[in-house]
Amino acid sequence: MIIVMKPKASEEEISAVSDKIKSLGYTPHAIVGVERQVFGAVGDGRGKSHLQAIESMPGVEGVFPILKPYKLASREVKDTNTVVMVDGVPVGGEQIALMVGPCSVEGREQICTTARLVKEAGANILRGGAFKPRTSPYSFQGLAEEGLKLLAEAKKETGLPIVTEVMNPREVELVAEYADIMQVGARNVQNFSLLKELGKIKKPILLKRGMMTTINEFLMSAEYILSEGNSEVILCERGIRTFETATRNTLDLSCIPVLKKETHLPIIVDPSHATGHWDLVEPMARASIAAGADGLMIEVHPDPVNAFSDGPQSLKPEKFARLVKGLRPFIKLMGRTL
Ligand code: PEP
Ligand code: MN
């Protein structure tokens, strides 16, 4: 249910409503607007009929049902776009977020050189995996904590905030020590224990869409994080599985306007994992911006041929610099900045 307070509702009236929501077994999620305050009351539905009675409390304008299965992620509850602040870098506002770096952190020289070059080219957030979800247990699994430490060094050198993946609820605390954004990979989009754990921390989460996840399921996964109290969720489309084999995945461009309609959360696109080929990254990056994406995640490696993971889809730093140059007119056309 959505409880809309009157514009002139007093502090006492607001807190009385909040207490009432709690007493009915619901969690009140306060959304403070410019003019008025709104509560999203979410729970398992048992006290629903009683919630309607809140309508008669002082200061309340109305009580309305939320029709979508996702509540806090929905535009029904919050119409204005959410801007997630990542160590000073806004994601979801006017500025386009460019989260760029290698698939895996491989060593000091590799991550620091990449960080320096992508920053020069226009990246504003550094990506790099330390815990890698690989299809084969015999593939490189990432440098784990050593990788996180190297990311911290690259951040110190360049000032770029870090996005890195957390695969396991047991590693949330460790990864949170180093990461500015905690990435949930495509394979973990419905790992509900992990999502609940991430809902309890105060750190932005980058939630990647699974390769077999519908938009509805994707938003329900975001809801798991939001419902635990963490409102800083960034969505990432990274391609879904279809019958097509020419590309690694199929980039679902139409999910951008659909998500923009359904949710206030920022949405970025990862054309690297979506296509699997470095030469397809640039056209899909342009298309994503043109479709309304709030940012991009792009894999860049100084020596793609010898990369420990995802070399074929990784751009060399100079190619990334050219991509950004060609992207700028599209960013401008969309009324955005970089
Ligand atoms: C990654 O970002 O390196 C990654 C493993 O992505 P995804 O979870 O989208 O496959
Ligand atoms: Mn990768």
pLDDT, one tens digit per residue, over 50-101 is 888 899 999 999 999 888 899 999 999 999 999 999 999 999 999 999 999 9
Average pLDDT, the chain: 96
> Does ligand 1 lie within 6 Å of residue 209's CB atom?
no
Residue nearest to atom 1 of ligand 1 (CA): 103
Average pLDDT over residues 10-27: 94
pLDDT at 213 over 90: yes
Question: How does residue 45 score in pLDDT terms, banded at 50, 70 and 90?
Answer: confident
Mutate to test the pocket of ligand 1, among 183, 212, 299 (most ligand atoms within 8 A of CB): 183
Angle between helices 215-227 and 192-199 (to 10 degrees): 40
- Test site for ligand 1: of 165, 188, 234, 237, most ligand atoms within 8 A of the Cβ: 165
Residue range 222-271, pLDDT digits in tens: 999 999 999 999 999 999 999 999 999 999 999 999 999 999 999 999 99
pLDDT digits (tens, 9 = 90+) for 318-337: 999 999 999 999 999 999 99
Could you report the per-residue pLDDT of 100-128, keeping only the tens digit for each?
999 999 999 999 999 999 999 999 999 99
Query: pLDDT class for 47, splitting at 50, 70, 90?
Result: low
Element (H, E) at 63: strand 60-64
Output the CA 210–ligand 1 centroid distance in Å.
10
Cβ neighbourhood burial of 268 (10 Å; 0-12, 13-18, 19+): buried
Query: What whole-number percentage of the chain has pLDDT above 90?
Result: 92
Confidence of residue 46 (pLDDT cuts 50, 70, 90): confident
| The predicted structure's pLDDT at residue 50 | 83
Rounded-to-integer distance, Cα 182 and Cα 179, Å:
6
Ligand 1, atom 10, lies closest to the CA of 186
